[in-house]
Chain A
Amino acid sequence: MYSFDFVRPATLDEAVAALAGEEAQALGGGQTLIPTLKQRLASPATLVSLGGIAALKGVSSSGGTLTVGGGTTHGTVAAEAASVYPALAKLAGNIGDPAVRNRGTIGGSLANNDPSACYPSAVLASNATVVTNTREIAADDYFQGLFTTALEPGEIITAVKFPVPQKAAYIKFEQPASRFALVGVFVAKGADGVRVAVTGASEGGVFRWSEAEAALSSNFSAGALDGLSASADGLINDLHGSAAYRAHLIGVLTKRAVAAAG
């Protein structure tokens, strides 16, 4: 690792001020950023830990909306969201391994927007809102491609607001070494129809499969997807799976997710 200054502010305002500095970088749980620093793929002058800000942590729910603080760990979401939004809790409980889940945060995952991460699919399928220190960003506007988001430099995710769907499920086909999604599909049936978000598959990061959404909005059953196939254009083609294989998995996993959602 290159050397850097490490600061751990106790309030959001102090963190925002620290991030305004030259070459400053926010640190969530560090489960992606620390390995990146070790490989010298990043060289911040100052690392601003968000781990000491109590206001960013916790899960709460009211009026059909589940709010997860940006600094909440996957382990906490798995435990505390289970009664309100079980599909989201289950997703969180299958990220990495137990020790990783005790450090990694939802805000860190979304800010990084790894094309194979689990959380982006939940946020996009749930039509959630990403809340930052300056504004609220709709999920459809937030994800802008591979490791790219609507966040401005220095902007901090303070919370994510999930409208709790009537039915939802996430099915992940794991890349067995990393446990990231080779393909993962999150299906959510809400008041305004069905949304299907796919992670792990596309070179452009998480995306919505609109043909499946249309089919499922008129008939929410696995059978409604018969004859539909996802296009392999723009899908990831690597040693773990070809683009055609990933396209096939999207269809299979979407059916399984619909079946699991009931």
Chain B
Amino acid sequence: MVDVTMKVNGKTVTKSVKGNMLMTEFLREELRLTGTHVGCDTSQCGACVIHVNGNAVKACTMFAGECAGAEVTTIEGMANKDGSLNVIQQAFQDHHGLQCGFCTPGMVMSASALLKENPKPSEAEIRHYLEGNICRCTGYHNIVKAILAASGQDVSAIAAE
């Protein structure tokens, strides 16, 4: 067993967990934060993207023990303080950036990391950045639109789909 203390969405948590526990399992089973999804469990689909010390990572390919002392943010920590959707989440709703919603937590976490790094990304930059996030419903079109809108850019140039 390994004792880990980390801050998750601003709250300090301490748990004693098995050495091979992944962050996905830690969040979902230990903390009951089930917004972080497990899609492929092979680091390809991106449904499990979270932020660790501000960097987007795939929680299925990181041990809980690696997050000792870290600041972790999950999709549950993304809403505004009053519980309303943040600008990226709202843009996903406004632009129909989801259908089944399974990939959405990872998409929002990756989009948030992108906008922190590059506040006004082009359509091509958005598509390139999302190469590690897979969506089987939308064809990505409305996701790209939502991220453009969240960054305050005009989306009318993107054809309606």
Question: Which size bracket describes the interface of B in this complex?
Answer: 20 to 34
| Cβ B56 vs Cβ A98 within 8 A | yes
| Cβ B19 vs Cβ A3 within 8 A | yes
Can you pick out 6 interface pairs between chain A and chain B where the beta carbons lie within 8 Å of each other? A4-B19, A8-B66, A49-B66, A98-B56, A98-B114, A100-B43
Q: Which of B19, B41, B52, B66 contacts A38 (CB 8 A)?
A: B41
- Does residue B115 face the partner (Cβ distance < 8 Å to A)? no
- Chain B nearest CB, measured from A72 CB (Å): 13
**Known contacts A4-B20, A6-B19, A99-B132; A30 and B57 CB within 8 A of each other:** no
Count of inter-chain pairs, beta carbons less than 8 A: 78
| Cβ B131 vs Cβ A97 within 8 A | yes
- Chain A nearest CB, measured from B15 CB (Å): 13
Q: List 6 tightest A-B contacts by C-beta distance, closest first.
A: A97-B132, A6-B19, A102-B55, A6-B65, A1-B20, A99-B58
- Chain B nearest CB, measured from A4 CB (Å): 5
- Chain B nearest CB, measured from A179 CB (Å): 8
**Known contacts A38-B41, A98-B56; A103 and B19 CB within 8 A of each other:** no
- Chain A nearest CB, measured from B23 CB (Å): 10
SS class, residues of chain B in contact with chain A: mixed
Chain B residues in 8 Å Cβ range of A4: 19-20
| Cβ B61 vs Cβ A103 within 8 A | yes
A 1-28 to B, binary, CB cutoff 8 A, 1 in contact else 0: 1111111100000000000000000010
**Known contacts A2-B20, A3-B19, A51-B66; A99 and B41 CB within 8 A of each other:** no
B 61-74 to A, binary, CB cutoff 8 A, 1 in contact else 0: 11101101000000
- Does residue A96 face the partner (Cβ distance < 8 Å to B)? yes
Chain A residues in 8 Å Cβ range of B133: 97
Question: Which size bracket describes the interface of A in this complex?
Answer: 20 to 34
| Cβ B63 vs Cβ A6 within 8 A | yes
| Cβ A35 vs Cβ B55 within 8 A | no
- Chain B nearest CB, measured from A144 CB (Å): 27
**Known contacts A75-B55, A99-B132; A37 and B62 CB within 8 A of each other:** no
Closest to A33 in B: B61
**Known contacts A5-B19, A102-B56; A34 and B46 CB within 8 A of each other:** no
| Cβ A30 vs Cβ B68 within 8 A | no
In the assembly, what is the distance between CA of A4 and CA of B46, in Å? Answer: 26
| Cβ B20 vs Cβ A35 within 8 A | no
In the assembly, what is the distance between CA of A51 and CA of B68, in Å? Answer: 10
- Chain A nearest CB, measured from B18 CB (Å): 6
| Cβ B62 vs Cβ A8 within 8 A | no
Chain A residues in 8 Å Cβ range of B20: 1-4, 6, 37, 47
In the assembly, what is the distance between CA of A99 and CA of B133, in Å? Answer: 9
| Cβ B56 vs Cβ A34 within 8 A | no
Chain A residues in 8 Å Cβ range of B58: 99-100, 103
Which B residues from 1 to 45 make CB contacts under 8 A with A? Answer: 2, 18-20, 22, 41-43
Chain A residues in 8 Å Cβ range of B66: 8, 30, 49, 51
Chain B residues in 8 Å Cβ range of A148: none
- Does residue A31 face the partner (Cβ distance < 8 Å to B)? yes
In the assembly, what is the distance between CA of A38 and CA of B24, in Å? Answer: 14
**Known contacts A3-B18, A31-B43, A103-B57; A98 and B110 CB within 8 A of each other:** yes
